[in-house]
Structure formats: structure tokens, C-alpha cells
Amino acid sequence: MDYYFEKQVNYPMEETIEKIGDFLKTHGFGILTQIDVQKTLKDKVGAEIKPYRILGACNPYFAHEAIGKESNVGLMLPCNIVVREDSDGQTYVAAVNPERTIKTIGNDELSFLATRVRDVMEALIASI
């Protein structure tokens, strides 16, 4: 079981992020955070990298249920989605496989939720 799902897409980065947000909304998720890694690394250490964003996606109902089953599960939230460009300017989207992450906790009560969220992340990658 891989820890992520990935796909090359035929959209520029900003359009890809917009499409991700639209898809997530239809599944009860939202983008809580957006980290511009390219800018952060440039500002903090002077590093030059290709565009790279980390989106933090969350479904508040799933998060509420998960926190009720495991108080420190927030350490594994939100679900990260990476949108990046390679050296040829191609855009890639990768989404975490939450089953893999949640399995490390060892709380079987979270398995059903992790599977539901995995289904959304897989569908996101397939549809974009």
C-alpha cells in the first residue's frame, strides 16, 4: 500500500488548485491551509525550487468523528495534497493515502474513516 496517490495533470498550477478545491467541496472537504513551499524556501534559506504547494484538506465531520475516537489524531490531520511542477513545467498532484497514515496509530476504530477519506483522495486524483 503506497502512502500517496499521484497523477500528472494538463492544467497549470493555479487552475489545478482551483479544480482541487471545487472537487473537495462536492465531497464535504475544504482547503484549510495552503503552503507555498517554493516561496518559503526562497525566503528562509535562499533555495530555488520549482513551484510546490502543500494543501491541507479537511472534512469537518470526519475530523470531528476521528477526534472523538482518538484525541491526538490531529497530529495526522489535515490530509495533505501536493501540487508541484517538475523541471519540464509539467504539473503533478499527489494526495496522501490516509489509510497508511492512520494505520500507524493502531486504533482500529479509525479504519472505517480512513477508508472513506482514502476513497475521496483516490477519486480526486482520478478525476483531475
* 19-42: pLDDT as tens digits: 999 999 999 999 999 999 999 999
Between residues 1 and 44, the one the model is more confident about = 44
In this predicted structure, the answer to whether residue 1 has a pLDDT above a threshold of 70 is no
Per-residue confidence (pLDDT) for residue 23, from 0 to 100: 98
How far apart CA 109 and CA 27 sit, in angstroms, is 22
Asked whether 96 and 121 are in contact (CB, 8 A), the reply is yes
pLDDT tens sequence across 76-87: 999 999 999 999
Per-residue confidence (pLDDT) for residue 29, from 0 to 100: 98
What residues form DSSP beta bridges with 125?
none
Per-residue confidence (pLDDT) for residue 120, from 0 to 100: 97
Domains and CATH numbers, the chain: 4-127 (3.30.310.70)
pTM assigned to the model:
0.94
Per-residue confidence (pLDDT) for residue 90, from 0 to 100: 96
Per-residue confidence (pLDDT) for residue 115, from 0 to 100: 96
Residue 78: asked if its preceding bond is cis (omega within 30°), the reply is: yes
How far apart CA 58 and CA 24 sit, in angstroms, is 9
